[in-house]
Amino acid sequence: MSFLVLPPEINSLRMFVGAGSAPMLEAAAAWDGLASELSSAASSFASVTSGLTQQAWQGPASAAMMAAATPYAGFLNAAAAHAQNASAQAQSVAAVFESTLAATVHPAVVAANRTDLVSLVMSNLFGQNAPAIAATEAEYEQMWAQDVAAMVDYHAGASAAADQLPSALQPLDGIVGFLDNIPGFNVLGIGNSKLLTLGIGNQLAWNLGSGNNGQINLLGSGNIGDVNLGSGNFGFWNLGSGNIGSANFGSGNNGSWNLGSGNIGGFNLGFGNSGSNNFGFGNFGSGNFGFGNSGNGNIGIGLTGDHQIGFGGLNSGTGNVGFGNSGTNNVGFFNSGNGNIGVGNSGQFNSGLANSGAFATGLFNSGSTDTGIFNSGDYNTGGFNAGNYNTGFFNSGSINTGVFNSGDLNTGVGNLFTGSGASSGFGNSGVDSSGFNNSGDNASGIGNAGDYVSGLFNSGVAEISGILNNAPTGFTSGISNLRNILAG
């Protein structure tokens, strides 16, 4: 409060030079408009949610939504009241300024007094102006006191108005839900349960991604395990996506320490190998160097047996069509499994590229009966899912419809925990289901009829992923299949 010791020249000039009360009045008008908008939004939000839950949407999911929505309506009303109060206090400050301005000596009057003093002093050769000089100084001192008194009143009025303003964060107290970061330091994240996480729906700490159930997963999502650089892995130290196992450099591997993709086993360098310590593509066995060998310790292409060197044919299995296949009844290249259509598949009855699971349709799936890409879980429709029976992407939990869910039985984005109630979503008639209009149990997606199903509009008994499949018993992935045990 330096105005207590400042001369009237400065205090008066400060009050009369500037924008005046106009900016404060504009701020008051803006706060008033915001209060009106927030109040209208609160009324509309409450009306919509109430109407929805009382008519079309019933059940546990509806009750859970209403329980979560009610605090937000309260927050909007509290924020509207806060904005209205801010508008009133801004108007009060503007009024205090105007009254202070009226009580302040005009700078021109102060300047005239100082000019008179200089004139009197310059002409006071014989002391004849002493009474006039004293009167001028007394008038100046009155100006000083008047300005200080006005400024003291201004400070008191403005401080009182400021004290009437609550913290802008007070309406947020007790609000739980959208930014539900449970303890820690979550940067740019939503729904994380631990600290130092950049992403959505992570269960543990130090994740740079979303939907992880583990820690120190970098630039990836939907992992179950730790220190993965990629997505949809089930294991540790994987550099890639869709792996089951640890320390794989590649994607779609079912095993550990593989450098490549679509391998079953460990320490393979290449693609589509079934076994261990293979160098090449589509080998079935261990210690092979080359392509499409069936056996152990072979060097060459298409050899059947052990410890052979040479060229045995385009394929080493039976009933294969293509090149470099070591399994049975494969169509394509470098498949070491059975009944595969595609390239580098080491599993069974897969359709696509580098799948090490079974009955999968897509790319780099190490899980079984998946439709999509880079899934290490089973019966998923989508991509990068390490959990099971998910419809969506980057889910490390199970039976989710959505993305980045590390919990189970959720419909949405970035959910940490198991959904409340028998099912989540809308229109599901079974139990333990997520999504929309499913009639089976343990299902995710939209419009499925059957148990343990993911995807869209599938019908069958169980174990189906994909879109528009009709399988009487199950083990089907892909699109528009009409029988059992199919991929494609």
**Interval 157-202: pLDDT, tens:** 988 888 887 655 454 444 444 444 444 444 445 555 555 556 666 7
User: With 60 as the cut, is the pLDDT of residue 366 above it?
Assistant: yes
User: With 80 as the cut, is the pLDDT of residue 404 above it?
Assistant: yes
> What would the mean pLDDT of 112-131 be, rounded to a whole number?
91
The CATH number of whichever domain residue 108 belongs to comes to 1.20.1260.20
By CB neighbour count within 10 A (0-12 exposed, 13-18 middle, 19+ buried), where does 27 fall?
middle
What is the distance of C-alpha 446 from the center of its chain? 23
Segments forming the whole domain that contains residue 84: 2-172
In our burial notation (b when 16+ CB lie closer than 10 A, e otherwise), range 447-485 reads bbbbbbbbbbbbbbbbbbbbbebbbeebbbbbeebeebb
User: With 80 as the cut, is the pLDDT of residue 52 above it?
Assistant: no
pLDDT at position 174 is 42
Is the same domain home to 140 and 202?
no
Is the same domain home to 136 and 254?
no
Is 298 inside any structural domain? no
Q: For the ranges 241-245, 412-416, 456-460, which has the lowest average pLDDT? A: 412-416
pLDDT at position 421 is 60
Is 381 inside any structural domain? yes
Judged by DSSP in three states, 52 sits in helix
**Interval 470-486: pLDDT, tens:** 887 778 888 988 655 55
CA distance 189 to 173: 19
> What would the mean pLDDT of 132-159 be, rounded to a whole number?
92
pLDDT at position 423 is 82
Is the same domain home to 18 and 110?
yes
H or E segment and range at residue 120: helix 107-122
**Interval 59-94: pLDDT, tens:** 666 676 677 677 877 888 888 888 898 899 889 999
Judged by DSSP in three states, 172 sits in helix
pLDDT at position 44 is 85
**Interval 194-225: pLDDT, tens:** 555 566 667 776 677 777 887 777 677 888 88
User: With 90 as the cut, is the pLDDT of residue 413 above it?
Assistant: no
Can you give 388-457 as a three-state secondary structure string?
Answer: CCCEEECCCCCCCEEECCCCCCCEEECCCCCCCCCECCECCCCCCECCECCCCCCCCCECCEEEEECCEC
User: With 70 as the cut, is the pLDDT of residue 57 above it?
Assistant: no
**Interval 8-46: pLDDT, tens:** 998 898 889 878 889 889 989 998 998 898 899 888 878
Is 183 inside any structural domain? no
CA distance 126 to 123: 9
Is the same domain home to 102 and 236?
no
Is 273 inside any structural domain? no
Mean pLDDT for all residues in the chain: 84
Is 383 inside any structural domain? yes
By CB neighbour count within 10 A (0-12 exposed, 13-18 middle, 19+ buried), where does 88 fall?
middle
> What would the mean pLDDT of 435-463 be, rounded to a whole number?
90
- Domain boundary residue among 155, 172, 189? 172
Of 385, 428, 426, 429, the residue nearest 408 (C-alpha): 385
Is the same domain home to 161 and 227?
no
Is the same domain home to 107 and 206?
no
- Domain boundary residue among 127, 155, 172? 172
Task: Kindly compute the dihedral angle of the four CA atoms of residues 144, 145, 146, 152, in this order, to the nearest 10 degrees.
Answer: 110
Is the same domain home to 36 and 118?
yes
**Interval 328-365: pLDDT, tens:** 999 999 999 899 999 999 889 999 999 988 998 999 99
**Nearby residues of 72 by Cβ (< 8 Å), 6 or more positions away:** 45, 175, 177
Is the same domain home to 123 and 204?
no
pLDDT at position 150 is 92
H or E segment and range at residue 476: strand 476-477
Is 378 inside any structural domain? yes
**Beta partners for 487?**
477
Is the same domain home to 20 and 94?
yes
CA distance 244 to 242: 7
How many separate domains does the chain show? 2
Is 377 inside any structural domain? yes
pLDDT at position 60 is 66
**Interval 123-142: pLDDT, tens:** 998 889 999 999 999 999 99
Global confidence as pTM: 0.59
- Domain boundary residue among 121, 155, 172? 172
User: With 90 as the cut, is the pLDDT of residue 113 above it?
Assistant: yes
Judged by DSSP in three states, 237 sits in coil
pLDDT at position 183 is 44
Pull the structure tokens for residue 330: 């494969």
Backbone angles phi, psi at 352, to 5 degrees: 140, -145
Is the same domain home to 20 and 90?
yes
Is 141 inside any structural domain? yes
**Nearby residues of 435 by Cβ (< 8 Å), 6 or more positions away:** 391, 401, 411, 424, 425, 428, 443, 444, 445, 446, 448
Is the same domain home to 231 and 361?
yes
Is the same domain home to 92 and 229?
no
